[in-house]
Structure 1
Amino acid sequence: MIEKSSTPTLFEWAGGMPVFERLTELFYQKVLNDPLLEPVFKHMSPEHQLHVAHFIAEVLGGPTWYSTAEGSHFRMVQKHLAKHLTEQHRRRWVSLLLETADEINLPDDPEFRSAFVAYVEWGTRIAVINSNSDNLQMEPDEPMPKWGWGVPGGPYQG
């Protein structure tokens, strides 16, 4: 019999899927009202914010809704190809996301926030790199990243 760890995942610690769905709902409202980001996101599908909520939730230890029904890490990164995102876009995106996280009272303890911010920094830098390329810098079967409580080993740990 395998025992479940008593340590909650980052997803559980944050409060579960409703928290991530609320985070992305409010965040993308800000994005669409931001003069720098609005041109990049104005044509996003109505499902975009929900897909992003499911993606982030899965990365942080939540259910595999994104990878089993909505896409893959490869497909998420692929959506950024040739968007020509700049460091200024990335910083604004991160700033608005963290501002929204504070507004919805996402846990602000140092351990959670350091893990959350580490993932956001990593993910947005991957997006910028691939947005300025015509070819993805990854393999199609690359696994979903998995983020935890400061565990060494990188985003693809098992």
Structure 2
Amino acid sequence: MTDQNKTIPTLYEWAGGMPAFEELTTAFYTKVLTDELLEPVFKHMSTEHQRHVAHFIAEVFGGPAMYSTEEGSHFKMIQKHLSKHLTEKHRQRWAALLLETADEINLPDDPEFRSAFVAYIEWGTRIAVLNSNIESTEMNPDEPMPKWGWGVPGGPYIP
């Protein structure tokens, strides 16, 4: 590892840490619960759900292992989506509202961060739709949490 790589922040750090992810999901789920397409899917979820989603995404982006050590696991997150019968329209709307919310709360908008953020949202929502349309999974219960990094850009743009 070069000295340059040691100074590259995680996506979690670049975004602003846990407060940024909790603000994102709080504002996002406020929109979801007033959205004609998504409200029926999420109306029965507890307010803890939005906090769990914040902790899950934060951990995936290099934050503390709060989700996997205190709230669940990757396997348990997959299990929560089974048989929910999400559609591509649900996925697209969920992703669009999340990106809209990211802009509204001023999540970093540099191309490098947004490229990684959008890539994860695309990947994660597509996995959720796939898993929501099956009854069970052969996934290993000890499957580790996904880890998302900067990808091709390799780090934030610093002028």
TM-score, normalization: structure 1? 0.91
Matching residue's letter, 2:20 = V
Structure 1's consecutive aligned runs of 4 or more residues displaced over 3 angstroms after TM superposition are none
Q: Which residue of 1 aligns with 2:79?
A: 78
Contact kept? 1:119, 1:147, Cα under 8 Å = yes
How far, CA to CA, are the matches of 2:55 and 2:119 in structure 1?
A: 18
Taking every aligned residue pair, what percent have the same amino acid on both sides? 77
2:58 aligned with 1:41, yes or no? no
Q: Which residue of 1 aligns with 2:105?
A: 104
Matching residue's letter, 2:124 = G
Q: Which residue of 1 aligns with 2:118?
A: 117
2:27 aligned with 1:23, yes or no? no
Shift in Å at residue 77 of structure 1?
Answer: 1.1
Secondary structure (helix, strand or coil) at the match of 2:13 reads helix
How far, CA to CA, are the matches of 1:137 and 1:126 in structure 2?
A: 14
How far, CA to CA, are the matches of 1:86 and 1:15 in structure 2?
A: 32
Matching residue's letter, 1:116 = F
Matching residue's letter, 1:14 = A
TM-score, normalization: structure 2? 0.91
Secondary structure (helix, strand or coil) at the match of 1:79 reads helix
Q: Which residue of 2 aligns with 1:95?
A: 96
How far, CA to CA, are the matches of 1:146 and 1:119 in structure 2?
A: 10
How far, CA to CA, are the matches of 1:137 and 1:107 in structure 2?
A: 37
Q: Alpha-carbon deviations, 1:98-131, whole Å to 9, x = none?
A: 0000000100111100001111111101100010
Q: Could you tell me which runs of 5 or more consecutive residues in structure 1 were left unpaired when the two chains were aligned.
A: 152-158
Q: Which residue of 1 aligns with 2:157?
A: none
TM-aligned CA distance change 1:34 to 1:69, over 3 Å: same
Q: Which residue of 2 aligns with 1:150?
A: 151
Shift in Å at residue 138 of structure 1?
Answer: 2.3
User: Which structure has more helix as a fraction of its residues?
Assistant: 2
Contact kept? 1:21, 1:50, Cα under 8 Å = yes
Matching residue's letter, 1:104 = I
Q: Alpha-carbon deviations, 1:65-90, whole Å to 9, x = none?
A: 00000000110111011100000000
Q: Alpha-carbon deviations, 1:41-73, whole Å to 9, x = none?
A: 000012000000000000000000000000001
Shift in Å at residue 139 of structure 1?
Answer: 1.8
Q: Could you tell me which runs of 5 or more consecutive residues in structure 2 were left unpaired when the two chains were aligned.
A: 153-159
Q: How many aligned residue pairs are there? A: 150
How far, CA to CA, are the matches of 2:125 and 2:143 in structure 1?
A: 17
How far, CA to CA, are the matches of 1:84 and 1:148 in structure 2?
A: 29
How far, CA to CA, are the matches of 1:124 and 1:55 in structure 2?
A: 13
Shift in Å at residue 137 of structure 1?
Answer: 5.1
Contact kept? 1:130, 1:137, Cα under 8 Å = no
Matching residue's letter, 1:12 = E
